[in-house]
Amino acid sequence: MTDFVEYGEGEVVYAIGGPQKWLWGLEKGQVQVRLALIEAEPMLGHMFQFGSWFGESELIQGTDGLIEVTATMPTRLRRGKSWFSAVLRSLMNMG
């Protein structure tokens, strides 16, 4: 299943330690990625713009949010996971 979601400036897409169950594609806008280092406030790690994909690390590792992703302007994202999960299962069964 793939659908579209919209976020306003400053809205968190997903947070460090929070649930993250999707592969995200940036259709419009921009998001910032913040990461937490040991005993430090989260710091800016990257900015994603149109055409970028993110969220795969958590899906591959089966963990919750490893990073915090926040919209920096009105943003439209595509999210999906069923096809990505199917590819991962297929790859794991090949080994």
Per-position DSSP letters for 52-63, written without gaps between them:
-EE-HHHHHHT-
pLDDT higher than 90, residue 72: yes
- Pick the residue with more confidence: 67 or 6? 6
Pairing status of strand 30-35 against strand 68-71: antiparallel
User: Structure pTM?
Assistant: 0.79
Phi, psi at 86, each rounded to 5° = -65, -40
pLDDT of residue 41: 75
